[in-house]
Amino acid sequence: MEINQSRSKRVLRLCDVMETTILCRSSIYNLIKAGDLPSNYAILGKRKA
């Protein structure tokens, strides 16, 4: 999967990524594991982006 790098860098929550890409949670985590999507990180306490 090719990711468009020309867009500005934004922090998206998992639910936003799911709505934008129409991918399920497991597919997104598989893409993160494969290195095709950036990994998530904590932004405030338990909230992750």
Kindly give, in sequence order, each residue whose CB lies less than 8 Å from that of residue 32, ignoring residues fewer than 6 positions away. Answer: 38, 39, 40
Q: How far apart are CA 30 and CA 40, in angstroms?
A: 13
* DSSP-derived secondary structure letter, 40: P
Q: Give the per-residue pLDDT at 5.
A: 54
**Its pTM surpasses 0.95:** no
pLDDT at 37 over 60: yes
